Structure 1
Amino acid sequence: MATIEEILQRETRALVFDLYGTVVDMQSGLTAAVTPFLKKKSWDGNPSSFVTWWRRTHFEDSMIDGLLDRGHTPYRQIGHRAVSQVMDRCGIKHTQDEVTWLVSQIELLKPFPDVIAALNQLKTRYKLVILSNGDRDMLENARPHIGFPFDRFISVQEAGYFKPHFATYAAAEEIINAEWPHIERSGIIFVANHAFDCIGAKSHGFRSVFIDRRKRPFGQSPNQPDLIVANFAELAATLAPQS
């Protein structure tokens, strides 16, 4: 009887990756960016906590945007709101230019150390695609900083909703099918460091892999991932083993 690893190796044709926090190191990268800024502002709190509050506020606001269903708000715009709210929370006086600069740092984020080598190993067997909540232009600006030639970058703007709305995964599938007609839904694996994203993709009908970098339980969702791996090195070793 074949193992799940063997089945995935045999049937998979494309891997679709979340970007922020899965491919690029959002927490560490943004913490490095905000630390000198917060020091100039004489804020004596923990810069990593500032970034955590920023990311949580952004996530909550993007989920609210999807639930209201009154038109998609750009990722950058929600980012501006989130950063402004956290600055107010911290009692930091700021200008809109400073908010814009902080949000722009998202476009400069670098991959986790294990990512590029793993992607080079995976690309020998699969099409590699990004599906991100980021705006189209943000993804385009991020390309040189990611440093890997993904086969396709897809923004949720194509669907008009943020992940994990089913329409985002459906839009990605449609784009992939248009470019590579031989790739069916069962041949697509979605890869993310976030349980909510894996749940959304699995609910749509993709297979999924959870990158458990933070060593946190996935939870009791009925939409469990097909695989749980510790990092990208384990992902590549599992899906594209080298002889």
Structure 2
Amino acid sequence: MGAVGRQVPAVGVLAFDIYGTLYDLASLAEAARGLVPDPVGFVELWRAKQLEYALLLSVMGRYESFRSVTERALRYTIRRLGLGLKEREMETLMEAWLRLKPYPDAARSLPRLARRHKLVALTNGDRDMVDALLRDTGLRAHFAEILSAEEVGVYKPSPKIYGLASRLGDAALVSSNPWDVAGALNAGLKAIYLNRRGLPTEELGPEPTLVVKDLDELADALEA
């Protein structure tokens, strides 16, 4: 089945989410293997707590770096599961965020998308973390800018961070996170839902502008 949605958006700027959209968070489970009994469950709890902390900070009108939020979530996860990890082992897990593996379609399709659109990263991640990740995996050259939550002191899905993209012109978010898609649409951006896992449509939030299963399908749709 091909791309579905209200319409194929005519936009000049594609604003990409990073974590879970371009980069596979399963890489974190690989780093946790040998350190914890259930790497997949460990990472799921860690990620959920990371997102919860970021949202809580935003609701409270406070901001901490993504690195700090991620470390706090890690320490909670370790305590919650009763694990006795050492500081060096925790450092190994934190460093895994800098060694995430990109989805294979990123290297194939980003060059195609960059030929017709300005690509920017729109991320909750700290700018230096995202810049290093993109460079180390050979994807940085495709992106004109990195727009980070640290610029506005609040995390997605706050309208403020999506405003960074809307200032660049007619833009669409590309994200595999439904809450991110809803946040972008609420802020007035178009939003392309990269439904990598074939999940059902969310019950809350507006309908995405376009739904695709991967970046190859997105590139095909925008070139049609």
User: Hey, what does 1:12 align to over in structure 2?
Assistant: 11
For the Cα contact (< 8 Å) 1:190–1:208, is it kept in 2? yes
SS of 1:209's partner is strand
Partners of 1:193 and 1:232 in 2: CA distance: 11
Cα gap change, 1:94 to 1:235, in 2 (>3 Å): same
Partners of 1:222 and 1:197 in 2: CA distance: 10
User: Hey, what does 1:216 align to over in structure 2?
Assistant: 199
Q: Over the residues paired in the alignment, what is the CA RMSD in angstroms?
A: 1.5
- Whichever of the two has the greater Rg, that structure is 1
Pairing partner for 1:79 from 67, 70, 86: 70
Partners of 2:166 and 2:151 in 1: CA distance: 11
For the Cα contact (< 8 Å) 1:57–1:82, is it kept in 2? yes
Residues 1:194 and 2:177 are matched in the alignment = yes
For the Cα contact (< 8 Å) 1:189–1:206, is it kept in 2? yes
Cα gap change, 1:115 to 1:143, in 2 (>3 Å): closer
Residues 1:92 and 2:83 are matched in the alignment = yes
1:1-243 equivalent positions in 2, closer than 5 A: 4-5=7-8, 8=9, 11-26=10-25, 28-38=26-36, 45-69=37-61, 71-148=62-139, 149=141, 150-174=143-167, 176=168, 184=169, 187-241=170-224
Partners of 1:204 and 1:60 in 2: CA distance: 20
Partners of 1:60 and 1:121 in 2: CA distance: 35
Aligned AA (1:24): Y
Q: CA deviation at 1:110?
A: 1.8
Q: 1:61-87, CA deviations, whole angstroms, 9 ceiling, x for partnerless residues?
A: 111111111x31111111111111111
Q: CA deviation at 1:141?
A: 1.8
Cα gap change, 1:140 to 1:229, in 2 (>3 Å): same
Q: 1:96-155, CA deviations, whole angstroms, 9 ceiling, x for partnerless residues?
A: 343233122111112101111111111110001101111122112212233212111111
For the Cα contact (< 8 Å) 1:109–1:145, is it kept in 2? no
Gaps of 5+ in 2: 1-5
TM-score by length of 2: 0.91
Aligned AA (1:89): R
User: Hey, what does 2:3 align to over in structure 1?
Assistant: none
Q: CA deviation at 1:222?
A: 4.2
For the Cα contact (< 8 Å) 1:80–1:100, is it kept in 2? no
**Greater helix content:** 1
Identity of aligned residues (%): 29
Partners of 2:109 and 2:201 in 1: CA distance: 23
Aligned AA (1:160): G
Between the two proteins, the alignment pairs up a number of residues equal to 217
SS of 1:50's partner is helix
Q: Which runs of 4+ in 1 moved over 6 A?
A: none
SS of 2:40's partner is helix
Gaps of 5+ in 1: 39-44, 177-183
Partners of 1:96 and 1:165 in 2: CA distance: 33
For the Cα contact (< 8 Å) 1:33–1:105, is it kept in 2? yes
Partners of 1:68 and 1:97 in 2: CA distance: 32
For the Cα contact (< 8 Å) 2:100–2:133, is it kept in 1? yes
For the Cα contact (< 8 Å) 1:192–1:209, is it kept in 2? yes
